A and B are shown apart, each in its own frame.
Chain A
Amino acid sequence: MKAAGLWIAGLYLALIALAAFAPDLLATHDPLQTDVRAALQPPSGAHLFGTDQSGRDVLARVVHGAARSAGIGLLATALALVTGLAVGALSGIAPRWADAVLMRVTDILLAFPEFLVALIVVAVLGPGGANVAIAVTIAAVPVYIRLARTQTRTLRVAEHVEAARILRVGRMRAFVRHVVPGVLGSLSVLATIGIGSAILAAAGLSFLGLGPAEPQPEWGLMLAGGRNVLGQAWWISVFPGLAITLTVISATVLGRALRARMEGRAA
């Protein structure tokens, strides 16, 4: 049962990856091609997911949207991981006052709901795909910083790091070789679980019109685009919505499995 779930999640994400890197293999229509005569067609043989108000093929738009929608979430997670590692590890070895300043800033960020922080950042930076990625990064990064700092402090005084120091491995070298990789390991586990919520947050911002602009295909944006005609043409919103839901669930399922494996190995 569990293995079957993992397989389905893995296969689905492989499909999303294929859509992101080679969309033309999965969709024959042009996602930007409008055709007013074929507007609001229900799913059929010619248009498997139907068409939208401008007659664009929904399947093509979902497939071509994969790179942008999943990509923003992935990029934001990767940025949060790297930033969290750098800031957290530095804070872990910084003098007391610098550590205190960094941690209070982090605490302030943590005090607000993540989505609210992301909204504020986009409001300041302006809409656009790259800005959404930055906003989601800033919203997610405090947790990474906190974890990286704690792990750095723990590992710095760990027995195996001390053992290396007694062997006369230099301070800097011991830090880079034994402390940083250990911290990175813990952060990766957090990231595998964070990817899902990052994708969701990015889609949420796009839904509000703060992400990529029309006519670019993006799942959150498409969800918003179909919302006024939901009664007549459910397919315009439902398919991109399904794509988001399945991606988030699959990423979370795989992330949890990965975490269980890594924690099992470390124990």
Chain B
Amino acid sequence: MSAVDVQGLRIAFGGRIVVDDVSFTVEPGECVAIVGESGAGKSLTARALLGLLPDGASATTERLLVAGTDAGRLGESGWRSLRGRRIALVSQDALAALDPLRRIGREVAEPMEIHGLRADGGRVLALLESVSMPDAERRVRSRPHELSGGLRQRALIASALAADPEVIVADEATTALDATVQARILELLRGIADSGRAVVFISHDFAAVRRVADRVIVMQAGRIVEQGAVDEVMRSPRSDHARELVAASSPVPRPASPSSGAPLLRAVDLSKSFDRPAVVGASFVLRAGSTLGVVGESGSGKTTLARMIVGVQHPDSGALEWVSPQRVQLVHQNPLGAFDPRWTIGRSLREALQAAGAPRALRTKRSLELLAEVGLDGSLARRRPHELSGGQRQRAAIARSLAADPQVLVLDEPVSALDPTVRQRVLGLLSSLQRERALTMVFVSHDLAVIAAVSDDVLVMQDGVVVEQGAVADVFADPRHSFTRELLAAGR
């Protein structure tokens, strides 16, 4: 008997059908991934399995069996006895999902108490050990904020496993984690499936899916467009959308640039501390017309390094030696924050043009040209930032940075908030802009695959230190530092 059996799931949200005719089964011991971009309906589908749809959404099914229970017509109290005991959720944001005032041990024990199971200290400890929580005996007494993101996610998984449910639903459970941490959590989820539970894994990222799932369901605009074994779908996707998503998950490394440009910037022994050292003794060379990728995990100092190159932050020691004065511009990680929320995009562009010295009469015309250059329709100039999609906003932010006709563009995680296919298109835009404008770029990212696709040279940072640098092809082919090897392994 299947652990999950859904037939004809349909979800309406405010009168609109957002999930339509979705049917699938998950067997015990199997991990099934549901993949799609934002708005595809994958999260709502997952929530419907738990009877946790948001207000205003209503679901109908022909059949909804969860661990042998007919959940199609359950009331709230029926769902409560099912949730935790038969099916449990692991969500993306462990910091929000865990009670900040409660110790981890209590959090893990709670589902057992709710369902009338014996919840002694030994059982809690065993659970934490089963999710490979290091130093579990001490962690039992920790509060969520005292744990790192990866350990929090482990604690959350332990509490999901506490009442021994047959089904685990992981909704983007590894998305916010650093690559090496993500790899370990994926391993853990795979182990949970191998131990005989059914795992439903929701993700937008085929790279993660490949490491954990047996079968994959690809959703687009509320419908299933393709499903099958992961290997098969990745090797020969039949639908256009699956093909796009698969391609986006494994960006093709950039061909090594034939000409090695002359050095434009020499950074010598840069250091910067805030409460603790952020960048320690970084030395590197930025070559004209090339892209320097800076890769590292959160807290590695890569953003601080980028901000020093832009000149927003000044190094405590060391020097940035520009060969000649350069116009440097920054593209922020979060374009929604980088635009004044009250201003239209057009007005923000005109302000940038004014600051760059463009005469008033030409500003409107130039702003429309900039929008066209990044592939946006001129009508978007009349919209405010929140009225644009994430991809449009990032394009608009790039357009604005071009207003000053920069020679060097520093991009801080410019695509990390975007859906895979949108990300691919923005990366394509950046490389064509680089060609046409002969731009030199510094590209900061936590994503090795993205760095590989856009960079000529790469700096690998860990704890503020540049642990490895060189041409991308060389570093990827023959990583010398153990951290680089770990990063590469996590991305594979």
Contacts and interface: CB of A to CB of B under 8 A. Distances in A.
Interface of A: 158-160, 162-169, 177-178, 181-182, 185, 266-267
B340 A160 contact: yes
A158 B329 contact: no
B118 interface: no
Interface in B340-365: 340-342, 351-352, 354-356
A166 B329 CA distance: 7
A253 B341 CA distance: 26
B355 A168 contact: yes
B309 to A, nearest CB: 12
Given A163-B332, A167-B401, A182-B340, 15 more contacts: A158-B337, A159-B334, A160-B338, A162-B312, A163-B330, A163-B400, A164-B351, A167-B355, A167-B403, A168-B404, A169-B355, A177-B340, A181-B342, A185-B342, A266-B341
A41 B351 CA distance: 67
A250 to B, nearest CB: 28
Given A167-B356, A169-B351, A159 B337 contact: yes
A162 B331 CA distance: 11
A159 B332 contact: yes
Contact of B351 (A159, A167, A185): A167
30 contacts: A158-B337, A159-B334, A159-B337, A159-B338, A162-B312, A163-B338, A164-B340, A164-B351, A164-B355, A165-B312, A166-B310, A166-B312, A166-B330, A167-B351, A167-B352, A167-B355, A167-B356, A167-B400, A167-B401, A167-B403, A168-B355, A169-B351, A169-B352, A169-B355, A178-B340, A181-B342, A182-B340, A182-B342, A185-B342, A266-B341
Interface of chain B, main secondary structure:
mixed
Interface residues of B, number: 22
Contacts of A163: 330, 332, 338-339, 400
A173 B386 CA distance: 24
Nearest to A179: B340
A163 B338 CA distance: 6
Nearest to A160: B340
Contacts of A178: 340
A181 B312 CA distance: 24
- What 7 pairs across the A-B complex have the smallest Cβ distances? A159-B337, A163-B338, A169-B355, A167-B352, A168-B355, A160-B340, A167-B355
A76 B441 CA distance: 55
Contacts of A166: 310, 312, 329-330
A111 B145 CA distance: 35
Interface of B: 310, 312, 329-330, 332, 334, 337-342, 351-352, 354-356, 386, 400-401, 403-404
Contacts of B330: 163, 166
A258 to B, nearest CB: 16
Contacts of B401: 167
A162 B310 CA distance: 12
Q: Which of A160, A168, A177 has the most chain B CB atoms inside 10 A of its CB? A: A160
A37 to B, nearest CB: 62
Contacts of A181: 342
Contacts of A185: 342
Contacts of B342: 181-182, 185
A167 B340 contact: no
B339 A167 contact: no
A181 B386 CA distance: 18
A168 B352 CA distance: 8
B339 A160 contact: yes
Contacts of B403: 167
Contacts of B352: 167, 169
B351 A177 contact: yes
Nearest to A169: B355
B306 to A, nearest CB: 12
A210 B199 CA distance: 74
Nearest to A164: B351
A157 to B, nearest CB: 11
Count chain B CB atoms within 10 A of each CB in A159, A181, A182, A267 and give the residue with the most. A159
A160 B342 CA distance: 11
A177 B351 CA distance: 10
A160 B341 contact: yes
A181 B343 CA distance: 11
Contacts of B332: 159, 163
Nearest to A182: B342
Given A159-B334, A162-B312, A168 B356 contact: yes
A164 B340 CA distance: 9
The listed residue with most B CB atoms (<10 A of its CB), out of A168, A181, A185, is: A168
Contacts of B312: 162, 165-166
A80 to B, nearest CB: 23
B355 A160 contact: no
Contacts of A159: 332, 334, 337-338
Contacts of B310: 166
Nearest to A170: B355
A164 B341 CA distance: 13
Contacts of B386: 267
Contacts of B355: 164, 167-169
Interface centre among A159, A167, A168, A169 (most CB of B within 10 A): A167
B313 to A, nearest CB: 11
A81 B371 CA distance: 38
A164 B332 CA distance: 12
Contact of A160 (B329, B337, B354, B404): B337
Contacts of B338: 159-160, 163
Contact of A167 (B334, B337, B341, B404): B404
Contacts of A182: 340, 342
Contacts of A266: 341
A6 to B, nearest CB: 22
A104 to B, nearest CB: 29
A163 B400 CA distance: 10
A141 to B, nearest CB: 25
A59 B16 CA distance: 53
A165 B401 CA distance: 12
A159 B312 CA distance: 12
Contacts of B337: 158-160
A162 B338 CA distance: 8
A88 B403 CA distance: 34
B212 to A, nearest CB: 35
A16 B299 CA distance: 59
A201 to B, nearest CB: 31
Nearest to B337: A159
A84 to B, nearest CB: 19
A185 B401 CA distance: 27
